[in-house]
Amino acid sequence: MKNNKIKEMSSPELEKELSELKTELFKLRFSLATNGLDNPMKIKEVRKNIARIKTELRQRELKAN
């Protein structure tokens, strides 16, 4: 997910996306532990997307205050 797309999304949409990404990360980690993944770099990508969304939410929070 690109930063431009994240900046265009509203805060509730970002919260929803964040929860979906956390669920996906859990599934990826579980899948890695049980039978392996086809693409282990997917975990890294999901973690970065979570960080991007959290950063944008925090920036909006600070801007509001």
pLDDT in tens, the chain (65 residues): 788 999 999 999 999 999 999 999 999 999 999 988 889 899 999 999 999 999 999 999 999 98
Can you give the pTM of this predicted structure? 0.91
Report how many domains make up the chain: 1
CATH assignment at residue 7: 1.10.287.310
Which residues, other chains included, contact 17 with Cβ-Cβ below 8 Å and sequence gap of 6+? 1, 9, 53
Containing structural domain, residue 16: 3-64
DSSP secondary structure code for residue 10 in this structure: -
